[in-house]
Amino acid sequence: MTRVLGVDVGGTDTKAAVVEDGGVVLASRTLPTPRSPGGIVDLIAAEVPGGVQAIGLAVPGLVDERRGVAVWSENLDWQDVPFADLVCERTGLPTVLGHDVRAGGLAESRLGAARGIRDVVFLPIGTGIAAAVILGGRLHAADGYAGEIGHVDAGHSEPCLCGATGCLEAIASAAAIARRYEARAGRAAPTREIVAAAQDGDPVAAEVWEEALDALTGALAWLASVLAPEVVVVGGGLSRAGDALFEPLTERLARRLTFQRVPRLVPAALGDRAGCLGAALLALDYLTD
């Protein structure tokens, strides 16, 4: 029986799980994320139990999986951290570095909402928007640059944190919906309340929500045209809007597409465990490849 440690480093929390073949979780823990890369290596070294044969580590930002280097994270303020080597030197165990969204996508495609499907896009919509692209059953990483669907042009004139103008993320992320509603309504509300208010006919909420839905439909139409996924697994905070999100998005996308394959839009099944499970899968793959 093969046993690995999967670790998912988030902006606030870090999840660690001991996982066996087939994604069976034996134990898991959530801890506050240390503020430095050295602190993260210390945390992993402290969490490795006996019997573990490899470590999978998923981190946010720009990640070069091939070299095992976390190239850049705005959130955690690091640059060019060779995590795979650092963790391996410290623990003596082979360590595979992955990207949090791509690891989550791998887990959803093998163990979650897109199990058994070969062409999948995993689309978490939260503070930002990114995608994991799985084609023919394989993750497409492109040295860490693939999947930045949040930064395609959605045809508006608002600035994005990336420095460009008009990005999808600046109009359709959960954070953008909350920010845009506050700017127009003059009061702050959680995204969930804004979506509910839009359903109840609040004109400001409805306008912000409609604009987000239109931008998401455009991005999904682009994905359907270029990659033709069979399934798009939508995760992140916004997916908790449930039918209020999935029904209009499914309907608009079907209307927008003509000859293309219309992807099924399904909610993520693994929730915030996806990244950690995906990290463990990377380590299990390393041992069996």
Binding site for Zn ion (CB under 5 A): 151, 160, 162, 164, 167
Q: How far is the CB of 13 from Zn ion (least distance, A)?
A: 25
Angle 57-62-65 from CA coordinates, rounded to 5°: 50
Instruction: Report the nearest approach of Zn ion to the CB of residue 130 (Å).
Output: 11
Least distance CB 202 / Zn ion (angstroms): 28
Smallest separation, CB 9 to Zn ion (Å): 22
CB of 163 to Zn ion, least distance (A): 7
**Among residues 163 and 186, whose Cβ is nearest to Zn ion?**
163
**Nearer to Zn ion by C-beta: 85 or 153?**
153
DSSP at 278 = H
| 105 contacts 120 by C-beta, under 8 angstroms | yes
Please, which residue, 130 or 282, has the CB nearer to Zn ion? 130
Contacts with 62 (C-beta within 8 Å, 6 or more apart), sequence order: 70, 71, 72, 73, 144, 145
Of 160 and 215, the one with the shorter C-beta distance to Zn ion is 160
Biggest alpha carbon–alpha carbon distance for the chain: 59
Please list, in sequence order, all residues whose beta carbon lies within 8 angstroms of the beta carbon of residue 130, skipping any fewer than 6 positions away. Answer: 101, 123, 124, 147, 148, 149, 150
Helices then strands, each counted (H, E), the chain:
9, 13
Please tell me the distance from the alpha carbon of residue 91 to that of residue 260, in angstroms, as a whole number: 49
User: Which segments of 166-232 does DSSP mark as H helices, in order?
Assistant: 169-172, 174-185, 191-199, 203-226
Instruction: Provide the minimum distance between the beta carbon of 215 and Zn ion in the complex, in angstroms, as a whole number.
Output: 12
- At 233, list the tokens: 């697994």
Nearer to Zn ion (CB atom), residue 70 or residue 149:
149
| SS3 of residue 22 by DSSP | helix
Residue placing its CB nearer to Zn ion in the complex, 31 or 164: 164
27 or 164, CB closer to Zn ion?
Answer: 164
Question: Smallest distance, Å, CB 150 to Zn ion?
Answer: 6
| Residue 88 CB partners (closer than 8 Å, separation 6+) | 55, 94, 95
